[in-house]
Every structure is written in structure tokens, then in C-alpha cells.
Amino acid sequence: MNKTGAKKIVQDLLALADVQINGTQPTDMRVYNENLYSRILAGGTLAVGEAYMDGWWDSPQLDAFFAKVLTAELNKKIAPKKLVWPVLKSKIINAQTKTRSQKVAKQHYDLGNDFYAAMLDKRLQYTCAYWPTANTLNEAQEHKLDLVCRKLQLSKNDTVLELGGGWGGFAKYAAEKYGCAVVSYNISAEQVAYAKNYCASLPVKIIQADYRTASGKFDKVVSIGMCEHIGYKNYASFIKLVQRCLKPGGLFLLHTIGYITSSTTIEPWFNKYIFPNGMLPSLAQLTTALEGRFVIEDVHNFGTDYDKTLLAWHRNFVEHWPRFKEQYGERFYRMWQYYLLSSAGSFRARKNQLWQLILSKDGVPGGYQSIR
């Protein structure tokens, strides 16, 4: 297909989302390389992201551009046939084994603690904040942590198992504010080193190991932002592990990004550049794994708060970029712009969700009182 024909196809697709090529709206696409259209039609959403990284196109309001494009579901209209293979491969191969799960830690989470400290809040929370009454990112992340603790009904007598501990923010908060003893598992070397120092004076044990090695009995179990890396082949074994580790009468809080339909793969660009071997669960996939094992006491969706969280991270990223420009380079900058702002657009379009589930083994006597 020649350039003119390819451009016409892309132009007509974008029109479905009220987006023009080189138009005057801040959500329009600015094209700097006329080969873009053929590249998109040949490579789908992976090519869209890579072309952005290469400087072939831009948009003054990239987050709003993606909110429009994803609302119109244009991503489904440009999927090349060759992308059928990742779906077939996901059926055959477990992409989230202990060995393969190490890839995302090395590629993404071990980028450098200084980099994340510049982008995130003071507690280095790299998951959705809670904004209903917050004015700043620090406040919103503290409100999220307190929401988790209150939902779990934490007390000073509780022992808590945390699966996927990040930089130790939850463990420190729960230990300091609620007097809990926390055991936290994490595979990221950079995060574990930071968390051990951060929680040094508290009843917190940080273990650098895969979540599948967790053992013992605990009053409460929490997993904040790790389920996105577990994979659909492992949901049942993950839930069984929590079931084994949770004492009778205990509660399990699962905090995860989710997708509105069931899938066995992640979007190709994100898989290659941001979260290799990641996968967003659907509620159907999670409830299948939970069936017969846990009572679902509460489901809370505050996915629109992730839009605000990502924009706050983006502001910090841009503000502090001069410190990291020489180390990471321009293509990395465009990659992270694309990651943060396209993600914000996806939550704004309500394609991605953020769920907190409260689960009990045998049901809370008299019922669980939902907390917001």
C-alpha cells in the first residue's frame, strides 16, 4: 500500500475518535514522518508506541489523545495478524514462572531508587493513590495506605504477610501507625535494599524472594500492585498460597489494576518496554480462582483515581528530568512520557480499572462493613 492510501486509512480511523492529523485541537496527532501510517498499519499498537519513541509523531495533550482513541477502541482496529502468535504463546507457555518473573524486576523496578524517589511520593508508593479528600500526591498516597489498613481492620496484635512489598511503604506505615508485625516478600534487589533500611527500626522483615516461597500463618494478608505480574495461569496457585497462609478469621486485601475483559496477554508495547510478562486480570479470572476458597466481602473500584495519580507522577517526572537526562537519554524520556500519559488516558477512558477486594476464608460473622 502506498503512503497516500495508508494515510487515508489512519485518517479515517482517527476521525472515529474526533482526532485529526495535524489539526488544531490539543488532542490531535502531530505527524513528523509520513512513513508513520504504513508503520502503524503493519505493526499495530506496538508500532504506534515505538514511532512515538522515535519522534515520528506527538500530541500536545497525549493523555487526552489516548482517552479519545481508547474510548473509540481504535487499538482493536489496528491489530496486525502477526500479533495472533503472542496470544497462542500465552496459552502454551507460563510467562510468569519464578525465572521469567525476574525480568520485570531487572528491567523496570531496578531502574534506580533515585529515579523513582524523584517521581513518586515521599513513601515511594508506586500504586494508585486515593484522592477523594486529598490535595497532594503525598496526602493521597497516605490516604490509600490508611484505607488499606482500615479495610484489613489492623490492630497491634496482628501479624501481616505482604506479597510484593515495593520500597517498604506499606510495611512501615502499618508497623508505625497500627503496631503490626509485617513480613514482606519482593524480588526486586533495588527495592529490597531500600526497604530494609527504610524499615530497619520496626517489626518488619523484608525478604528478597518470589511470593511463591512465602510460608507461615498470618492474621492478615495484603497484596498491593503485584497481581498484575502473576499471570492467569497462576491465579489459582496464588489464591491457594494465601489460603494456606491466612489464619481462620483473617482477611486478605487484594489491590490490583484490572481490565474489563478477560485476556491472556498484555498490550505489546507495554510488554516489550515497561512490564515484560505482565498481565491485567479481569474480575472473571479472579473470581474463578477465588471460587470455593474465599468469600468476597467487598469490591471497591476507584480506577479514576489512577488517572490523577499518573498525572501527578508525570509532573514529577518532567520536573526532575534534568537530573536524569544524561543518564537515560531522550528516547527513554519519550518512552516514559508515553507510558505515563497513555496509561492515564486508559483509566480516563475506563478501559483499565483499579480494584480493592476484601476476602475472607469463611465469611465475616454478621457481615463485613465496607470502608471507603
Alpha-carbon distance 51 to 43, whole Å?
A: 10
Among residues 161, 251, 174, which one has the least CA distance to residue 213? 161
How high is the pLDDT of residue 112?
84
Strands 30-31 and 204-208 turn out to be unpaired
Please give the backbone phi and psi of residue 99, each rounded to the nearest 5 degrees, phi first.
-70, -50
Q: How many residues does the chain have?
A: 372
Numbers of helices and strands, H then E, in the chain = 14, 9
Residues 6 or more apart in contact with residue 215 via CB below 8 angstroms? 245
Which helix (H) or strand (E) covers residue 62, if one does? helix 62-71
Torsion of CA 33, 35, 38, 42, to 10 degrees: -90
* CA 73 and chain centroid, separation: 20
Topology adopted by domain 96-360: Rossmann fold (3.40.50)
- The answer to whether the beta carbons of residues 185 and 223 sit under 8 Å apart is no
Residues of the chain with CATH 3.40.50.150: 96-360
pLDDT on residue 75? 86
Distance (Å, whole) CA 301 – CA 305: 9
Looking at residue 277, its pLDDT comes to 86
Residues 158 and 326 sit within 8 Å (Cβ to Cβ): no
pTM for the full model? Answer: 0.92
Kindly give, in sequence order, each residue whose CB lies less than 8 Å from that of residue 244, ignoring residues fewer than 6 positions away.
none
Can you read off the three cell numbers belonging to residue 282? 479481569
* pLDDT tens per residue across span 258-275: 999 998 888 999 999 998
- pLDDT tens digit at each of 372 positions of the chain: 788 899 999 999 999 999 999 999 999 999 999 999 999 999 999 999 999 999 999 999 999 999 999 999 998 887 654 444 344 344 445 554 555 545 565 667 767 899 999 999 999 999 999 999 999 999 999 999 999 999 999 999 999 999 999 999 999 999 999 999 999 999 999 999 999 999 999 999 999 999 999 999 999 999 999 999 999 999 999 999 999 999 999 999 999 999 999 988 889 999 999 988 889 999 999 999 999 999 999 999 999 999 999 999 999 999 999 999 999 999 999 999 999 999 999 999 999 999 999 999 999 999 999 999
Average pLDDT, the chain: 92
- Please, which residues bridge with residue 354 across strands? 257
Between CA 196 and CA 165 the distance in angstroms is 11
Asked whether the beta carbons of 229 and 101 are under 8 A apart, the reply is yes
Taking the C-alpha atoms of residue 186 and residue 207, their distance in angstroms, rounded to an integer, is 6
156: exposed, middle or buried (C-beta count within 10 Å: 0-12, 13-18, 19+)? Answer: exposed
DSSP output for 224-263: ES-GGGT-GGGHHHHHHHHHHHEEEEEEEEEEEEEESS--
Residue whose C-alpha is closest to residue 346's, from 371, 309, 372:
309
158 is written with which cell numbers? 496482628
Per-residue pLDDT reduced to its tens digit, 270-304:
999 998 888 999 999 999 999 999 999 999 999 99
What's the pLDDT score for residue 105? Answer: 59
Output the pLDDT for position 296.
98
